[in-house]
Amino acid sequence: MPSNNPVFGRAFPANTPGPQFGQQPGGWGQGAQYGAPTQHNPYGAPAQQNPYAASTTRYMTMDDVVTKTGITFLVTVLAAAATWALLPTETALGLALPAVLIGLVLGLVISFKQITNPAAILTYAAVEGVFLGAISEAFENLYEGIVIQAIVGTFGVFAGMLVVYKTGAVRVTPKLTRWIVGAMFGVLALMLVNLVASFITPGGLGLREGGPVAIIFSLVVIGVAAFSLLLDFDMADEAIRRGAPAKFAWFVAFGLLVTMVWLYLEILRLLSYFRD
């Protein structure tokens, strides 16, 4: 079955069909066809050659996804809470930049190599927690109550997109996947152009200045992040259908964490515009 999700392009290749009816696996004229059979003990065959032997491979289930995602989010929340509660604001903000750089490098490595090692995923979750704790504390000092509003908004969007996906109101098709991926690259390109322009003109393109253009841009980014959740949900379902190993649930948890962090930060920024 062809995949709608680009993640499975190389991780789970399509099964190669076996020999057709009437076709010999080795081809005609290859090997002895009428010689004496090789003597062997049918009861001493290796377990992998016995079609009735129990499989030692444990395949991924939805319970694995829920459990691994819960553990990953818990590590992020604990790291964020510890950063906020135990470190002064100046120290926490000083750790924010190293944390985001380490998280960026580690996230790219996990994404491109499709790492399913729980140590790598949980390390990324802890680093992101440090960054989120510092940023959230800074925003809370400026706008009291904004963090809880952003958290409620983030999980509200998550719940809404999960309902949309489960009810089939929006189906993840190859065309939709291309649109979402293209929109993600477009948003990233605009952010980079705005950053470069800010060195030349104060405020750059105005995408982060809090005005009407910034509000519209944040709404667009939140929409792209919300639809990216559909790709994460589809990745989990497709991995289960394809019989992915249980450890692949860690990679699904990583994808959900990346999208949720992105969504939370953008909602936090949008709320700050309205406070100003």
Answer yes or no: is 14 within a domain: no
76, part of any domain = yes
The pLDDT of residue 55: 53
pLDDT tens digits for 130-159?
A: 999 999 999 999 999 999 999 999 999 999
**Cα-flanking dihedrals φ and ψ of residue 240, to 5°?**
-65, -45
Confidence of residue 221 (pLDDT cuts 50, 70, 90): very high
Number of domains composing the chain: 1
Does residue 148 form part of some domain? yes
Global pTM reads: 0.78
Does 10 fall in a domain?
A: no
Distance CA 100, CA 252 (A): 21
* Domain extent at residue 210: 62-275
Give the C-alpha distances (Å, rounded to integers) separating 28 from 22, 32, 165, 208.
11, 10, 51, 70
Mean pLDDT of 113-128: 93
- The amino acid at residue 127 is V
Residue 53, domain member (yes or no)? no
Is there a domain that residue 1 lies in?
no
In a domain, 215, yes or no: yes
Confidence band, pLDDT 50/70/90 cuts, at residue 17: very low
- The answer to the question of residue 19 being in a domain is no
Residues 6+ apart with CB under 8 A from 94: none
Separation of first and last alpha carbons in the chain: 51
Distance CA 185, CA 255 (A): 16
Convert the pLDDT of each residue in 176-200 to its tens digit: 999 999 999 999 998 898 888 888 8
